[in-house]
Amino acid sequence: MDFRYSDDQILLQSTVRDFLAKECTPEVVRALWETPTARSAALWKKLAEVGVPGLLVPEAHGGMGMSELEAVLILEEAGRAALAEPLVASAAVAAPLLREIGGELASEWLPRIAAGEAVVAVGHPALPFVEDAHVADLLLLPRGEDALFALPRASVRLEEQPALDPSRRIARAEFDAGAVRPVARGAQACALFAAALDRGALACAAQALGACDRMLDLSVAYASQRRQFGKPIGSYQAVKHMLANAKVALEYARPVVQRAAASVARGAAARAAHVSMAKLTACDAARLAARVALQCHGAIGYTWEQDLHLWMRRAWSLAQSWGRAPFHLARVRAAILEGSLPIGPGSTFAGGS
């Protein structure tokens, strides 16, 4: 039992953090808002050079062969930078899904994902919209509850849905199933959808941690510099206590996300409940941070010009993505009240995480 990341894993995280601090500045994010796709092929290419899109792609297919344990560290950094690239869809969800589907589809697309040459988007029967479908070369889409299709974008009708976060690009996707055969159906398709949802929600939770942390950093910097009544506003208890509350929420969300990552990585029986706990706690922390960060910034925080809203929008959109709070709460509730999730002292790591 050792609930710590290794030095190598921490180094990987800080390398990605430094990379994104340089390459994905608020100016870059804002500039992309003005483009048709809100995505940057150049930035995606650079991310591919450091291996990020292929994080979960096996080494045999040209990826880094890492697990969700490392992925959540990278995704936390993506959240910190408000990175708009299709990291959740392609790297966190599609790549392991293709790995599980296997066969020609996997060997054709996994190397291209890892190389940053292709983006794959994933739909889910419980979710109305598909994220990053507009830049996807391949879409993995459901038909009903138990059939999964793989389709090139040209054969899918996309109805884009502008949303609060200009970086969040979502669409309703429709296709004619008549001409193509599903890549999975029945129980296999259901298992793939379940795995996709767990990975998508986990990735959102990890990003929410980063966004939360960034909003705290921005607020501390602002409250330390902005003076009223002759003192920095951050010296007043009312401001201190708001920010302390968000810090508490963040620090108690992070281990929940990391444990969920470990559970997904090893296919633990309780992984779905663990992921839902992570999504709930991390998105709650980010929502609280958005709320107090705005209050702490005052009117300047309510402007388009101030960067704070990049992360506020991110926090709100992550809460909407891969299952909203009621969905995840219902999953945890069912696991506790109707299922077999053990609770009480000594249950946390019972039967393996």
Partner 1 sequence: MDLEYTPRQQAFRAEVRAWLEANVPREPLGSFDTAEGARQHRAWEKRLDAAGYAMVPWPVEYGGRGADLLEWLIFEEEYYRAGAPRRINQNGIFLLGPTIMEYGTPSQKARFLPKIASSEEVWAQGWSEPNAGSDMAAIATTALRDGDHYVIRGQKTWASRGAFADWLFGLFRTDPASERHHGLSFVLVPLNIPGVTVRPIAQLDGETGFAEVFFDDARVPVANRLGDEGAGWSVAMSTAGFERGLMLRSPARFQDTARRLVELYRANAADAEERVRDEVIRCVVAAEAYTLETYRTVSRMLAGGKIGAEASLNKIFWSELDIRMHELALELLGDRADLLPEAPAAEGVGDWLDAYLFSLSGPIYAGTNEIQRNIIAERILGLPR
Binding site for partner 1 (CB under 8 A): 1-6, 9, 69, 216, 220, 223-224, 231-232, 234-235, 237, 239-241, 243-245, 247-248, 251-256, 258-259, 262, 277, 280-281, 329, 332-333, 336-337, 343-349, 352-353
Output the CA torsion 105→133→205→92 (10° steps).
20
Residues 6+ apart with CB under 8 A from 252: 281, 285
d(CA 203, CA 322): 9
For residues 37 and 348, which CB has a smaller minimum distance to partner 1 in the complex?
Answer: 348
For residues 135 and 288, which CB has a smaller minimum distance to partner 1 in the complex?
Answer: 288
Distance from CA of residue 220 to its chain's centroid? 25
For residues 6 and 15, which CB has a smaller minimum distance to partner 1 in the complex?
Answer: 6
Minimum separation from the CB atom of position 323 to partner 1 (A): 15
d(CA 218, CA 209): 14
For residues 121 and 223, which CB has a smaller minimum distance to partner 1 in the complex?
Answer: 223
Q: Which two tokens stand for residue 4?
A: 């710590």
Locus of tokens 């804002």: 30
Q: Which two tokens stand for residue 68?
A: 């969700």
Cβ(306)–Cβ(196) below 8 Å: no
Distance from CA of residue 97 to its chain's centroid? 16
192: helix, strand or coil? helix
d(CA 268, CA 46): 34
Minimum separation from the CB atom of position 350 to partner 1 (A): 9
Hey, which residues does 142 pair with through a beta bridge? 148
For residues 21 and 248, which CB has a smaller minimum distance to partner 1 in the complex?
Answer: 248
For residues 52 and 243, which CB has a smaller minimum distance to partner 1 in the complex?
Answer: 243
For residues 121 and 277, which CB has a smaller minimum distance to partner 1 in the complex?
Answer: 277
**Could you give the C-alpha distances from 24 to 47, 164, 206, 271, in angstroms and in order?**
10, 20, 18, 32
For residues 75 and 150, which CB has a smaller minimum distance to partner 1 in the complex?
Answer: 75
Minimum separation from the CB atom of position 104 to partner 1 (A): 34
Minimum separation from the CB atom of position 206 to partner 1 (A): 14
Distance from CA of residue 144 to its chain's centroid? 25
d(CA 206, CA 70): 11
Minimum separation from the CB atom of position 259 to partner 1 (A): 5
Minimum separation from the CB atom of position 274 to partner 1 (A): 9
Cβ(53)–Cβ(47) below 8 Å: yes
Minimum separation from the CB atom of position 118 to partner 1 (A): 31
Minimum separation from the CB atom of position 271 to partner 1 (A): 12
